[in-house]
Structure 1
């Protein structure tokens, strides 16, 4: 049983970041684009049309440039199942405790993005796409750096910053500009409204509805 569990965890780590040891490779093809349909994960700079595959291009770590997709991005099953390990060990735990966001912490963790999608992204279990400009929908959990638009995940949204609408049973962000709707909503900096059973931001914690517009 221990052997099986170890194998599963090892496979998950490989999926999360392919080629991490090769990041110093100086040979980069930065002019590769795909049109109409592209299979992901991909090293292409841009995919215009439909990007489809089991995981997003953020799993490719040996190319230190951003991979873009424009249009429809479909990830089945997606990396969301890996986020289950964050449920009781949120990377924002210390920030929530202190209610203070270190600007250097944000800058360090959000400056470089391995993958950005512009449009609609769909996944069965969720995505780790760094930034989505548009709409992100999954049946489980998603983690990333920025959402500019709408993020709908059945169980959990975990993002550094969301500008727009976040819907899920649990919504966790550091910066929220817009509306959070769920059972438990949590952020450090809120400019907008939280609607749920329990809502927490830098000003107060309240049931049903919470707000801050400063």
Structure 2
């Protein structure tokens, strides 16, 4: 009798484990079209559609090989607020957005990110186009970042181009915009006013030497 009970318990536990493995397999299976937020979306080989952004401690990291589309409606309001609060040239400095450390949980997009605004920590390998990028999200772009208003990044490796401002903690490449700010730069800045860890300068600024430890 005890043997039968133990056998039943063993079969029950085994069925739970198999069900969990099957669920994990389904979650990890790449989707052609995925939606976020969604517990069912983790890997996408095609297109990810985000209808709003998750906060840092609730983010479920997603890997996208293809295109990430963001339709967060807050992106309509944030650029206007930033536009009226741009500080004076002399006080323009690395702000909280760019100086925050990179979080452990980050989305990864291999391809293209197209958003009104991105508020999730994201690594983009390829092309990033946002109306106003990465508000409240310390993000990384390896490639090209384009915005008609602002680019805010933790790290850019490549080229960041915007109309008003490019702000980053770490830059490897070029920043092109009205205001360009980077505190750890290797490359060139082109704009009305440019600031790096070495100097502040109009029109063209540069730094190609590593920081002394």
TM-score, normalising length: structure 2: 0.69
CA contact (8 A) 1:146 1:162 kept: yes
Corresponding residue number in structure 1 for 2:95: 93
Q: How many residues align?
A: 175
**1:173-204 deviation line (CA, Å, top 9, x unaligned):** 11111100000000101100000000000111
1:70 to 65, 71, 76: 65
> Aligned pair in 2 of structure 1 residues 136, 110: CA closer, same or farther (>3 Å)?
same
Partners in 2 of 1:159 and 1:189 — Cα distance? Answer: 12
Any stretches of 5+ residues in structure 2 without a counterpart? 1-19
Q: CA deviation at 1:120?
A: 0.5
Structure with the greater alpha carbon radius of gyration = 2
Say which of 112, 115, 118 aligns to 1:120.
112
**CA contact under 8 A between 1:83 and 1:141: conserved in structure 2?**
no
Find the aligned partners of 2:75 and 2:157 in 1 and give their Cα distance. Answer: 21
Counterpart in the other structure of 2:31: 35
Q: Match for residue 197 of structure 1?
A: 192
- Kindly provide the CA deviation profile for residues 79-127 of structure 1, in whole angstroms up to 9, marking residues without a partner as x: 535755666699943799xxxxxxxx76xx214133221110112x221
* Superposition CA RMSD, Å: 3.2
> Contact 1:55 / 1:127 at 8 angstroms: preserved in 2?
no
Residue 156 of structure 1 is matched in structure 2 by 150
Structure 1, unpaired ranges of 5+: 1-26, 97-104
